[in-house]
């Protein structure tokens, strides 16, 4: 994943001065994208989600009508 990104960035340009600067910039942008994504993924799961899963469970229960808790 990370490697795929870095490799595709690395293979794109010939190793000139300009290309190196562009690659460095692309890697920085790539890191920032991952960081933004990971920031959200690392947030605690809001309670709404747990409530929802509980509701799904209760719906299943009443539909089945035969469950013991």
Partner 1 sequence: MPTPARTLPNRTADRPEDGDFKSELLALIPFLRAFARSLTGNQEGADDLAQETLVKAWQSRATFIPGTNLKAWLFTILRNQFYSDRRRAWRQAPWDQEAAERIPGGGEDQFFSAQLSDTARALRCLSDEQREALILVGAGGFSYEDAAGICKCAIGTVKSRVARARKALMEILDGDDTLGDVARPAEGDAAREIMSQLDRLSSPEFGALGGKRRPK
Q: Closest separation between CB of residue 62 and partner 1, Å?
A: 9
Is residue 47 close enough to count as binding partner 1 by CB under 8 A? no
Closest CA to 28 of 43, 1, 9: 9
Q: How big is the chain by its Cα radius of gyration, in Å?
A: 23
Q: Closest separation between CB of residue 32 and partner 1, Å?
A: 5
How many other C-beta atoms are found inside a 10 Å radius of the C-beta of residue 68? Answer: 4
Instruction: Report how far Cα 6 is from the mean position of its chain's Cα atoms.
Output: 17
Provide the binding-site residues for partner 1, judged by CB under 8 A: 1-2, 4-5, 8-9, 12, 17-18, 20-22, 24-26, 28-43, 45-46, 48-50, 52-54, 56-57, 60-61, 64, 67-69
């Amino acid at each position: 994943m990370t490697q795929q990104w870095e490799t595709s960035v690395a293979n794109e340009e010939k190793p000139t001065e300009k290309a190196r600067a562009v690659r460095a910039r692309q890697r920085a942008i790539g890191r920032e994208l991952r960081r933004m994504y990971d920031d959200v993924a690392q947030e605690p799961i809001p309670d709404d989600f747990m409530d929802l899963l509980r509701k799904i469970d209760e719906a299943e229960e009443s539909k089945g009508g035969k469950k013991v808790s």
